[in-house]
């Protein structure tokens, strides 16, 4: 018999009662150190007082009015994002996959209005852009698309890190946009080197192609810059944001230049819940805290500390771990044993981390995690690794 919850997830039998900062208290009372932050969502940890206050205050005033009317919180958040980034304009969604939908529609509408047949979009193997029809077509993997055809046409997939393949493909007729994660998340924390992102921007400019960045996982301070592309000193034409921007409240956004957004006139797109007062009040507070240069500097400092500790862990367990990679507080530990073996032992140590493709364990703590908590997390990983070795002996 089918369970009452559609069984699309392999859930760990773990039930969280409440959270505080980087700690989660299970229904049975166990306290877990949370190094996953709901897959890079709880950017300021759990039950952050400033976020709780702003949400409950807004909840007492107004939840929803519809985008038929002005929403001051939405306007304020858009203004703030425009002020802080390359973007001239913002559309709010409730999730990353909805941001993907709009990013694809926007790019296609841009070329349609120019009267050019450039509906094809280049995307990359190992990428993840959400589970909508556009999202799975953009990612293209067998795992995500199997059984869901006919797929949204127009996506061409290139191997990750193959500059020659990119250079050849981008010259082809009908290419209108390139869609890429500056740091692949689900794909196993695979960062695109700054030089490659610069080169990609140059190629896009050379061929008049729009650059769409998916910063749903790597954006909003996660890499130690407000957005990951800032490390390469380039800007996209369109950017997808979600996860951290809501800190756990559903919120996503598409940011764009005036040029890229020029086809999106009144009536061309919409969302009932997108940009509602609750989500935008929270998003605005998140931006206030995370866009502060001192906060981002702190993320970079913590990243250095955590990375160094993880390098020590690899040196201590060379049979278990191969390398640490990533950027800021978006780090991946590539394993030499099945990552799920280490994950199971980490759970036994009351530590939450997140598996990814390429046999990687993701370490995505709250950006405001304390140094002592990171040290504790690495100590727990060290015990988990020892337990894997002991079990194999
Ligand atoms: C999580 C994620 C998405 C999808 O976001 P949802 O909010 O789950 O729809 C898209 N792109 C990337 C890079 C992601 O990590």
- pLDDT, tens only, 327-342: 999 999 999 999 999 9
pLDDT at position 393 over 90: no
Atom of ligand 1 nearest to the CA of 217: 15
Candidate from 97, 356, 364 with most ligand 1 atoms within 8 A of CB, to mutate: 97
The average pLDDT across 311-319 equals 98
Q: 90: closest CA among 264, 209, 215? A: 264
Q: For residue range 157-177, what is the model confidence (pLDDT) as tens digits?
A: 999 989 999 999 999 989 999
Residues 88/256, Cβ–Cβ less than 8 Å: yes
Nearest to 64 by CA among 52, 74, 77, 54: 74
- How far does the centroid of ligand 1 lie from the alpha carbon of residue 374, in Å? 25
Cβ-contact 153, 120 below 8 angstroms = no
Relative to the CA of 214, which ligand 1 atom is closest? 13
pLDDT above 90 (res 205): yes
CA of 222 to the centre of ligand 1 (A): 14
pLDDT in tens, 263-312: 999 999 999 999 999 999 999 999 999 999 999 999 999 999 999 999 99
E-strand ranges in 215-257 read 238-241, 252-256
The answer to whether the beta carbons of residues 165 and 197 sit under 8 Å apart is no
Ligand 1 first shell, C-beta below 6 A: 95-97, 128-130, 181, 185-186, 214, 216-217, 242-243
The two tokens of residue 362 are 């993701």
Q: How far is the CA of 180 from the centre of ligand 1 (A)?
A: 12
Tokens of 113: 């209005």
Q: For the chain, give the mean pLDDT.
A: 98
The answer to whether residues 310 and 332 touch, using CB atoms and an 8 Å cutoff, is no
pLDDT at 221: 98
Ligand 1: centre distance to CA 248 (Å): 13
- N- to C-terminal Cα distance for the chain? 41
pLDDT per position as a tens digit, 334-371: 999 999 999 999 999 999 999 999 999 999 999 999 99
Helix (H) or strand (E) holding 169: helix 163-170
User: What's the number of CA atoms in the CB half-sphere (13 Å) around residue 337?
Assistant: 20
Mean pLDDT of all residues in 5-16: 95
Cβ neighbours for 102, distance < 8 A, ≥ 6 positions apart = 91, 93, 254, 269
| Cα 21–Cα 361–Cα 236 angle in degrees, nearest 5 | 80
Specify the pLDDT at position 132: 97
């Amino acid at each position: 018999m089918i369970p009452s919850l559609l069984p699309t997830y392999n859930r760990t039998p773990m039930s969280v009662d409440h959270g505080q900062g980087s700690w989660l208290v299970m229904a049975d009372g166990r306290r877990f150190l949370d190094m996953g932050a709901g897959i890079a969502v709880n950017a300021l940890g759990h039950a952050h007082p400033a976020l709780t206050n702003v949400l409950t205050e807004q909840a007492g005033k107004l939840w929803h009015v519809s985008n038929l009317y002005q929403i001051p919180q939405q306007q304020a958040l858009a203004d703030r994002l425009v002020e802080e980034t390359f973007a001239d304009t913002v559309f709010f969604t409730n999730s990353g996959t909805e941001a993907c939908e709009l990013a694809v529609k926007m790019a296609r509408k841009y070329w349609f209005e120019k009267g050019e047949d450039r509906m094809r979009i280049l995307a990359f193997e190992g990428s993840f852009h959400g589970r909508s029809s556009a999202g799975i077509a953009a990612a293209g993997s067998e795992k995500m698309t199997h059984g869901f055809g006919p797929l949204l046409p127009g996506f061409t997939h290139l191997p990750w890190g193959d500059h020659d393949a990119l250079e050849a493909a981008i010259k082809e007729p009908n290419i209108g946009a390139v869609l890429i994660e500056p740091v692949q998340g689900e794909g196993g924390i695979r960062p695109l080197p700054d030089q490659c992102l610069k080169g990609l921007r140059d190629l896009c400019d050379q061929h008049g192609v729009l650059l769409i960045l998916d910063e749903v996982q790597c954006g909003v301070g996660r890499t130690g810059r407000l957005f990951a592309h800032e490390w390469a000193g380039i800007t996209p034409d369109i950017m997808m944001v979600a996860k951290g921007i809501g800190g756990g409240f559903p919120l996503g956004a598409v940011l764009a230049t005036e040029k890229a957004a020029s086809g999106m006139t009144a009536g061309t797109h919409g969302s009932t819940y997108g940009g509602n007062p609750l989500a935008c009040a929270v998003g605005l507070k998140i931006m206030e805290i995370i866009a502060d240069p001192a906060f981002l500097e702190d993320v970079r400092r913590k990243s250095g500390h955590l990375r160094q500790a993880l390098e020590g862990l690899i040196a201590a367990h060379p049979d278990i771990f191969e390398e640490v990679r990533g950027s800021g507080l978006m780090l991946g530990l590539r394993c030499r044993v099945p990552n799920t073996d280490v994950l199971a032992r980490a759970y036994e140590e009351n530590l939450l981390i997140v598996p990814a493709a390429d046999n990687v364990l993701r370490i995505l703590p709250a950006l405001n995690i304390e140094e002592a908590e990171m040290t504790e997390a690495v100590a727990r990983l060290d015990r988990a690794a020892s337990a894997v070795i002991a079990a194999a002996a």
